[in-house]
């Protein structure tokens, strides 16, 4: 009989948003891009860069004059280099010199999931350190964790959760298992009557 924490805690999760940062290390003429491309949105009064929307894979790129770029909305890390390549192709076609393969880093992943059991949030907010639960303000408990990875969970009574602050896929499973084990170890799951 196996006794791993993965088998003790059932749950499912999926990445809902990946935020990446890219530095192209060159100045960008964002006015030129806004004129040439329909999918480039540039509103000088509201935003200091341009917004480029892609449909395949679906995401939004925020590109600034200083060459800094933020990619948001992707659901798979494998798509980050694909989007970077698409942006580079647009820039090069307008004679803007950019590096062929600029470095990037994932700065945040938003993940949603379900622990498959109901959670007593009233008790959890008393027992768990670094947790806040104010049901009259928000129906979920905020739980800040430093181990095994620094992240923030929003946990709901029905067992669903959202976690932010992670930067690698391998951190997700470890953090979800840690959450499940923490709730189980403190008897915070609500026992279903049969």
Alpha carbon separation from 107 to 59, 133, 164, 170 (Å, rounded): 15, 27, 10, 14
Which residue's structure tokens are 């609500």? Answer: 190
Q: How far apart are the first and last CA of the chain?
A: 26
Task: Report the C-alpha gap between 63 and 66 in whole angstroms.
Answer: 8
pLDDT of 9: 55
Q: What is the pLDDT of residue 96?
A: 87
What the block records as the tokens of 134 is: 């104010």
- pLDDT, tens digit only, all 194 positions of the chain: 333 444 445 679 999 999 999 999 999 989 888 888 888 898 878 888 999 999 999 999 999 999 999 999 999 999 999 999 999 999 998 888 899 889 999 999 999 999 999 999 999 999 999 999 999 999 999 999 999 999 999 999 999 999 999 999 999 999 999 999 999 999 999 987 65
> How high is the pLDDT of residue 174?
95
In whole angstroms, what is the distance from residue 74 CA to residue 56 CA? 10
Q: Which domains does the chain have, with CATH numbers?
A: 20-106 (3.30.310.10), 115-185 (3.30.310.10)
Q: Is 73 left (phi over 0), alpha (psi -120 to 50) or beta?
A: left
User: pLDDT at position 39, please?
Assistant: 83
Sequential DSSP letters for 128-164 = STTEEE-TTT-SSEEEEE-SSS-EEEEE-TTSEEEEE
pLDDT of 34 reads 86
> CA 116, CA 191: separation in Å to the nearest integer?
12
Of 98, 104, 100, which is closest to residue 27 (Cα–Cα)?
98
Sequence length of the chain is: 194
What pLDDT, on the 0 to 100 scale, is given for residue 192? 75
- What confidence score (pLDDT) does residue 141 get? 99
pLDDT at 46: 87
pLDDT of res. 185: 96
């Amino acid at each position: 009989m196996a006794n791993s924490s993965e088998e003790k805690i059932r749950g499912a999760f999926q990445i809902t948003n990946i935020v990446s940062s890219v530095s192209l290390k060159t100045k960008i003429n964002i006015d030129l891009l806004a004129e040439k491309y329909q999918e480039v949105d540039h509103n000088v009064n509201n935003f200091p860069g341009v917004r480029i929307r892609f449909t395949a894979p679906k995401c939004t790129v925020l590109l600034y004059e200083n060459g800094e770029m933020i990619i948001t909305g992707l659901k798979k890390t494998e798509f980050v280099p694909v989007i970077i390549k698409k942006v580079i192709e647009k820039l090069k076609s307008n004679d803007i010199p950019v590096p062929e393969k600029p470095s990037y880093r994932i700065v945040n992943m938003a993940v949603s999931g379900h622990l498959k059991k109901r959670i007593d949030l009233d008790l959890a907010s008393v027992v768990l350190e670094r947790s806040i639960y104010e049901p009259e303000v928000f129906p979920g408990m905020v739980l800040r964790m430093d181990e095994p990875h620094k992240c923030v969970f929003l946990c709901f009574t029905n067992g669903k959760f959202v976690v932010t602050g992670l930067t690698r896929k391998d951190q997700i499973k470890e953090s979800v298992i840690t959450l499940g084990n923490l709730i189980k170890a403190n008897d915070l799951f609500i026992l279903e009557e049969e």
